[in-house]
Amino acid sequence: MHIRQPIVAVLGHVDSGKTSLLDRIRGTGVQGREAGGITQHIGASFLPTETIKEMCGPLYKKLEQSENKVPGLLVIDTPGHEVFTNLRSRGGSAADIAILVVDVNRGFQPQTNESLKILQSRKVPFVVALNKCDQISGWRKSETKFISQAIKEQDASIQADLDQKVYDVVGTLSILGYKSEAFYRVEDFKSEIAIVPISARSGVGIPELLSVLVGLTQQYLQKRLNQDEKEPRGIILEVKDEVGLGQTANVILIDGIIKKENSIVVAKRDGVIVTKPKALLLPKPLDEMRDPRDKFKPVPQVEAAAGFKIASPDLEGVLPGSTLYVASNDEEIAKYTELIESEMKSVFVDTETNGVILKCDTIGSLEAIMEMLKRSQVPVAKADIGPVTRRDVIEAKAIKEKDRHLGVVLAFNVKMLEDAQDESETSHIKLFENKVIYSLIDNYNAWVEEDSA
């Protein structure tokens, strides 16, 4: 059995400390260089086993005994303000496991809930990092990096305070259907979510956080991580024009190997494209892909799991969130073209039936909202990427004549064209707009309920 690196998504509300946590582990200063201290784009970096071993200290001994030792971790930093919906994979998640970062003094915040809903719908296991423990009022600084030891060094009142904060999280999670506990009280890691108090600033708790995380992947994720007979595939995170490189795509390779001479098969809005990479570019270990200390290295091949760049002029217009397949002959090209076409057909909806009109910014958000609407039993007549157009409103108007609750437009993170706005006002078509996925759906459901009463 050949086990690859687990893909670990780091999520949480804006400023909960996601980038700071990764900086602390990597020994980097990415957060300090971000404009306004805000992460704008999804990033990736490889944490080698050596780094994890060093961080975990004596806790690593137990992890080392596993038959399914993971060769490091691929960690994905996400922006708190727009959630990680494009980390998708065939309706599921490209992430194997997640760290949900919660600010200990603020508890659950809107994007914490949003992250959790998506983890839930994509069935991703996760660990809670209760961050900024150093900011608990009266917290005593100590030398140790182990939170279990640091807690013992606090006054009884501070210990009680932290316990209360942990229980607040336990309470919130239980409302959402999860059983959770402080990691040192967890009896069964399969059925209970572990909460690890940490401080990204001082580094305390990171040994325990990493050892819980690695332990979980080694124990429960072997099947996902096993590379035997896995076909190579990845996910496009972002496509952009870069000085000296031309069109590039930031890619996460989820399974398999991609070679420079292979063809890649990916989706644009209006069809599938097949192209050969001009270059495969790999960041150094511990470097953040979106802000590397060193230049990316041109390589003949990349092995999963990895974050890397593909340069090719044909990438312009490729959809972020699109699955990337790797083909080495015409037969495979045909197979993957068909796969992507059918995948796109299931993402983009255009039917004659009654349902709401949905417009979103990316494939990932579209897919996440579709999934949540399905669970709320709300039918969708049309689902597409792009701004709300007059045509969308006119379609909603026709549907309204048959079902007044379905003749609406739901818009996520997209513009409303002026003539669409005018049309919605004259024809009294309701438009729901929200940058938080679950609020968008909640607002629509609340309106239906109110209007039916």
Q: Which of Mg ion, Na ion, ligand GTP, none does residue 200 bind to, with CB < 5 to 8 Å depending on kind?
A: ligand GTP
Closest distance of CB 119 from Mg ion, Å: 18
Among 15, 103, 255, 303, which residue interacts with Na ion (rule: CB under 5 A)? Answer: 15
Nearer Cβ to Na ion, position 4 or 290? Answer: 290
Q: Can you say how many angstroms the Cα of residue 352 is from the centroid of all Cα atoms in its chain? A: 33
The region that residue 319 occupies, defined by phi over 0 for left and psi between -120 and 50 for alpha, beta otherwise, is beta
* Complete DSSP assignment for 208-244: HHHHHHHHHHHHH-HHHHB-TTPPPEEEEEEEEEETT
Extract the tokens encoding 258: 């991609």
Among 87, 166, 200, 225, which residue interacts with ligand GTP (rule: CB under 6 A)? Answer: 200
Q: How far is it, in rounded angstroms, from Cα 255 to Cα 94?
A: 10
Closest CA to 196 of 363, 186, 441: 186
If one asks whether residue 132 binds ligand GTP (CB under 6 A), the answer comes out as yes
If one asks whether residue 37 binds ligand GTP (CB under 6 A), the answer comes out as yes
If one asks whether residue 255 binds Na ion (CB under 5 A), the answer comes out as no
Residue nearest to ligand GTP (CB): 80
Q: How far is it, in rounded angstroms, from Cα 271 to Cα 441?
A: 30
How many residues touch ligand GTP (CB under 6 A)? 21
Identify whether 81 is a catalytic site residue: yes
Query: Which residues contact Mg ion (rule: CB under 5 A)?
Result: 18-19, 39
Query: Which H helix or E strand runs over 114?
Result: helix 110-121
If one asks whether residue 15 binds ligand GTP (CB under 6 A), the answer comes out as yes
Stretch that binds ligand GTP, among 36-44, 56-64, 254-262, 355-363 (CB under 6 A): 36-44
Closest CA to 371 of 345, 354, 347, 395: 347
Closest CA to 94 of 291, 251, 315: 251
Nearer Cβ to Na ion, position 1 or 38? Answer: 38
What string marks each residue from 358 to 377 as x (binds ligand GTP by CB under 6 A) or -? Answer: --------------------
Kindly name the residue from 13, 41, 81, 405 that is annotated as catalytic: 81
* Complete DSSP assignment for 372-416: HHHHTT--EEEEEES-B-HHHHHHHHHHHHH-TTTS-EEEES--B
Using CB under 5 A as the criterion, which residues of the chain lie in contact with Na ion when the complex forms? 15, 37-38
Using CB under 6 A as the criterion, which residues of the chain lie in contact with ligand GTP when the complex forms? 12, 14-20, 31, 37-39, 79-80, 131-132, 134-135, 199-201
Which residues does the annotation mark as catalytic?
81
